[in-house]
Structure 1
């Protein structure tokens, strides 16, 4: 069983820390695992992911048998400060194991650990799945910033839809993720961040300033409010790239790309002022084009001192 999981009150961004104060305990350390705590015997690497802004001490990480005997493994630091564990010998199907390491947070148990059973080897994934751009939504966009750590703006947004391939699903706990837009980094998520249907798990959403699969542009900031930390993407056409990575996979997974477009509503044109200083329009009971022309001709004749006959 997993004895230490990622808590719902995950580590906060610098802005959120300034508002709420840092919270770091053993509950925020993640040892990615399948729901039934079975690990394919041929998994390229195991990982322990610390709370955000922390790093695992590789020297404190150990892979043991269920009986407590330590096994040889290559342990290095990976993405998001994680400890990456590559067993020197393949895991034995049906055997029990324990992965443990020192808690990098000041609160909670000194050691975090997970026990698991090795299952039969599975085909290693060669394709990640399908990436699509969801429908564009226009309206309120809440982004990081301001004294309350979030700012409501008006903008345009969409959610990327990722459907993992069946061959990737058993290895999802050991995949970390990056989304790029037009070749530039947009958002990241640690190992185990996406579930079997491609959804981002809620606890990850609480830790990062940007939701991995959410893209947005800010069109308008409410006058008098503090602007957000980032205005998002520029309105227009873009290409999103999803980059999945399994640590130490011999053949890296291919990237997925999808084009999308975010737009801002066109602002209405300023009304045309009339000679009397009143605005006029061709709709809603205003002047028609012919009426406007007649009024302008009358005004010009008056300005020249010509009286109508």
Structure 2
């Protein structure tokens, strides 16, 4: 089975990398309009799906853009395949096949969009794939490491202005999936905790075989899954960031992958990292006039007094 990468199939536009390269536009801050082209079906690039895949997913990008009750699994010739329909994380609709898929058979996932005003051919959202051989369900997640922290400008997302540029410290977490997890990555959703508190999440298929983040709508997910940060300062000429990030110091990050509807839990991964803010150098004190010191002043006054006394007395003369 080929697993070097995969494509998130969509009807129309694929929002790969949304928000990763640049902040969303002002229009994006008002929310995404109902558009059936904004629906993703995470599948491998081939697309060949393990016959024992626990569940299949259809995922809206920030909006319930489809009628989840209409989601069906069919063979290529149109025969219905028995499957349970569940509500999944991140607004997804989840199909759980009643029995393993048949290797070599072509399947089709399809549903209907409730968006009005679009051409009829856009009403049906679908994706096709072939069932491949069954493979062992993964139990190992992979490895997680923390890159050295980086200081400089970056965008903090959220708020009415979409994003704010700040100066601060960032650490990128490097994730390498285990080989046994790679074939199932399209159906894994993610959570990242820092010091036991939720920090970020990402929907199914957001992480690729190389362990990199493939896409993320930063309006919906202000924290990138594999980036942690601390805001050190920001320009007073712009609105303050809605989120200052983490406090400077040493922290522990815990990455939690979840394979949809799998009875075999994936192990969480932990790594320590440090964020720092440069200390502001104290302003030099303005020089001040020392005047006469107490000791010096006392000695000068004593000498002056002695001189005056001698002058007033004048020269002494010897009397007979």
Indicate if the aligned counterparts of 2:103 and 2:130 stay in contact, CA closer than 8 A. yes
Does 1:34 pair with 2:41?
no
**Larger gyration radius, structure 1 or structure 2:** 2
Does 1:46 pair with 2:41?
no
Does 1:266 pair with 2:242?
no
Look up the match of 1:98.
Answer: 108
SS at match of 2:243: coil
Q: Name the stretch that deviates more: 62-71 or 140-149.
A: 140-149
Q: What is the Cα deviation at residue 203 of structure 1?
A: 5.0
SS at match of 2:37: helix
Look up the match of 2:212.
Answer: 199
Q: Distance in 2 between matches of 1:7 and 1:301?
A: 82
Indicate if the aligned counterparts of 1:54 and 1:104 stay in contact, CA closer than 8 A. no
Indicate if the aligned counterparts of 1:10 and 1:206 stay in contact, CA closer than 8 A. no
Distance 1:226 1:73, change over 3 A: same
Indicate if the aligned counterparts of 2:138 and 2:264 stay in contact, CA closer than 8 A. no
Indicate if the aligned counterparts of 1:11 and 1:53 stay in contact, CA closer than 8 A. no
Q: What is the Cα deviation at residue 58 of structure 1?
A: 3.1
Q: Distance in 1 between matches of 2:207 and 2:219?
A: 14
TM-score, with structure 2 as normaliser: 0.81
Indicate if the aligned counterparts of 2:16 and 2:215 stay in contact, CA closer than 8 A. no
Look up the match of 2:300.
Answer: 306
Which of 119, 130, 134 is the aligned partner of 1:117? Answer: 130
Q: Distance in 1 between matches of 2:25 and 2:194?
A: 23
Indicate if the aligned counterparts of 2:158 and 2:219 stay in contact, CA closer than 8 A. no
Deviations 1:193-252 (A, max 9, x none): 011101101455575212111100111122232101110111111111111011111111
Q: Distance in 2 between matches of 1:133 and 1:3?
A: 33
Q: What is the Cα deviation at residue 275 of structure 1?
A: 1.9
SS at match of 2:69: helix
Look up the match of 2:314.
Answer: none
Does 1:8 pair with 2:18?
no
Q: What is the Cα deviation at residue 123 of structure 1?
A: 1.4
Q: What is the Cα deviation at residue 69 of structure 1?
A: 1.0
Q: Distance in 1 between matches of 2:12 and 2:179?
A: 25
Indicate if the aligned counterparts of 1:56 and 1:83 stay in contact, CA closer than 8 A. no
Aligned residues: 290
Indicate if the aligned counterparts of 1:10 and 1:24 stay in contact, CA closer than 8 A. no
Deviations 1:85-110 (A, max 9, x none): 11112100000111111225456511
Q: Distance in 2 between matches of 1:162 and 1:140?
A: 24
Indicate if the aligned counterparts of 1:5 and 1:30 stay in contact, CA closer than 8 A. no
Look up the match of 1:248.
Answer: 261
Query: Structure 1 regions of 5+ residues with no counterpart?
Result: 277-295
SS at match of 2:41: coil
Q: Distance in 2 between matches of 1:11 and 1:272?
A: 49
Deviations 1:104-154 (A, max 9, x none): 545651110001110011111110100011110012131125664221111
Does 1:177 pair with 2:208?
no
